[in-house]
Amino acid sequence: MALKSTICKAELQLSDLDRHYYATHNLTLARHPSETDERMMVRLLAFALHASDTLAFGKGLSAEDEPDLIERDPTGAIARWIDVGLPDERDVRRASHKSGEMVLLTYGGRIAEMWWQQNGSKLAGLANLTVIDVPAESSATLASLAGRTMRLSCTIQDGSVWLADDAGNHELPLRLLQGRRA
Taking only the tens place, the pLDDT of each residue in 114-154 is 999 999 999 999 999 999 999 999 999 999 999 999 999 99
Q: Identify which of 41, 32, 19 has the alpha carbon closest to the alpha carbon of residue 147.
A: 41
pTM score, whole prediction: 0.94
Q: What is the mean pLDDT of the chain?
A: 93
Q: What is the mean pLDDT of residues 1-9?
A: 78
Residue 59 pLDDT > 80? no
With H, G, I as helix, E, B as strand and everything else as coil, classify residue 108: coil
Confidence category of residue 66, pLDDT binned at 50, 70, 90: confident
Measured in whole angstroms, how far is the alpha carbon of residue 125 from the centre of its chain?
22
In the chain, the percentage of residues whose pLDDT exceeds 90 is 86
Q: What is the mean pLDDT of residues 42-59?
A: 95
Run of H or E including 112: helix 110-123
- From the candidate CATH numbers 3.10.640.10, 3.40.47.10, 1.20.1530.20, 3.60.15.10, the one assigned to the domain spanning 7-178: 3.10.640.10
pLDDT in tens, 40-49: 999 999 999 9
With H, G, I as helix, E, B as strand and everything else as coil, classify residue 85: coil
Q: What is the dihedral of CA 118, 120, 126, 130, to 10 degrees?
A: 130
